[in-house]
Structure 1
Amino acid sequence: MKISTVLSTMIMLFLLIGCEPFSKETMDFYESTDGIDLSGENILSISIHSSEDDVINTFGKPMEVEEIENPKSKYLSYDGVEFGFVDDKVMRLFIRRTHENSKIYGTAKKIKIGDAKEEVIKEYGENYYERVESGLDTLGYFDKDNRINIEFGFNEKEVIAVIIKKIGWKEDN
């Protein structure tokens, strides 16, 4: 009787703090997912390894700048897109839905916010994995040669976020 009380208390604690104890991380799928070529992924010519100066020259002054100490990183936010940096090099590009007047950016294969899940699979192919991240259904691909990962977050089978990141980069969120 005492064991079931402890177990139910632990389950309730997980639920209350919002932890997803059975969720899988991106890299849990690396070995079992075939790679595709993501080397052309960019947003207005900004790609993984572009410099902070490249981003500012292309997008102008950011709406918001956030600097993180651990791990040491920097984020520049613009309307509809965010860039994450380590050592002055882009390690993450994040396309997101903002307000109604936001600019809509797309991937190299022209996938953008609002597109259907079927369109993503049509453009990127069948070598994907699926997981749940922060309550969003997520579909992802790996470029194992260039160590790049792209994930599409869905709400009701509609793209609401796209993250392109360097594999192996440890970010804080």
Structure 2
Amino acid sequence: MKKKRFIYVLALFLILSVLFILFYFINLCAPDKVTRSTNLSSESIGGFKVHDSINNQSFRKRYGRPMSREDNDLYDYYHWKDGLETASIISGSEKGSIMRFIIAGPIGQDGSIIDLFGNTLHTSGGIKLGDSKKKVISKYGKNYYKFFDDGSGENVIGYVDHKLGLKLEFELTYGSNQVVRIYLEDEKVE
């Protein structure tokens, strides 16, 4: 009887250990997949939403012609006035459909950021470059994921709307936790 009980306890312990390790690695590799959903249905940048087209007349009236273009295997990245960057579908019936908005500081001729917080664009929630992590959380809530971006050396917190398939991420300075870059994107963007 004691031996049977020991085997059951050991089996339960092993199952729970495997589940814990599995959850840890899923959270480490894809934290947005295990984060509770946040309603991002009203989220836009400059009045434009993910899946709007860069060829839309009102978009072109607001941002003009792209200042530059970066070729990418998956999307065309365009730099627009006011420090806006977009990633849009390259070809097919959805060509020009915006998959990602990026708000960053104004960029100089050499590609470096001139003024880290010199961008007036903001999220629908009013978050702009230079705002604090505390302000982001007070606006969007505590259901966020976080990770460290090895490429930029910055911390990132993000919100996901699983129903709409959208992500909103805020890249934060390492020391002062100020927003230095904002991403609004389709959650399928790599």
Task: Give the TM-score range, shorter chain.
Answer: 0.7 to 0.9
Distance in 1 of aligned mates of 2:103 and 2:119: 10
Relative distance call for 1:49 and 1:145 in structure 2 (3 A) is: same
Shift of 1:169: 2.5
Shift of 1:24: 4.3
The TM-score normalised by the length of structure 2 is 0.70
Distance in 2 of aligned mates of 1:50 and 1:63: 19
| 1:81 pairs with one of 80, 84, 93 | 84
> Runs of 5+ in structure 2 lacking a partner?
1-26, 90-94, 107-113
Shift of 1:128: 0.4
Identity of aligned residues (%): 26
Relative contact order (C-alpha < 8 Å, sep 6+): which is higher?
1
Structure 1 stretch displaced more, 100-109 or 57-66: 100-109
Shift of 1:114: 0.3
Distance in 2 of aligned mates of 1:163 and 1:56: 20
> Is 1:33 aligned with 2:43?
no
2:102 maps to what in 1? 94
**Number of equivalences:** 144
Distance in 2 of aligned mates of 1:31 and 1:74: 26
Shift of 1:97: 1.7
Higher helix fraction (1 or 2): 2
CA RMSD of superposed structures (Å): 1.8
- After TM superposition, the structure 1 = structure 2 runs for residues 1-173 of structure 1, keeping only pairs within 5 Å, are 24-25=28-29, 28-54=30-56, 55-68=59-72, 70-71=73-74, 73-78=75-80, 79-86=82-89, 87-98=95-106, 99-100=114-115, 102-133=118-149, 134=151, 135-155=153-173, 156-170=176-190
Higher strand fraction (1 or 2): 1
Q: Report the structure number with the largest CA radius of gyration.
A: 2
Question: After TM superposition, where is structure 1 displaced by more than 4 Å over at least 4 residues in a row?
Answer: none
Distance in 2 of aligned mates of 1:24 and 1:52: 34
| Residue aligned with 1:120, SS | helix
Distance in 1 of aligned mates of 2:131 and 2:32: 25
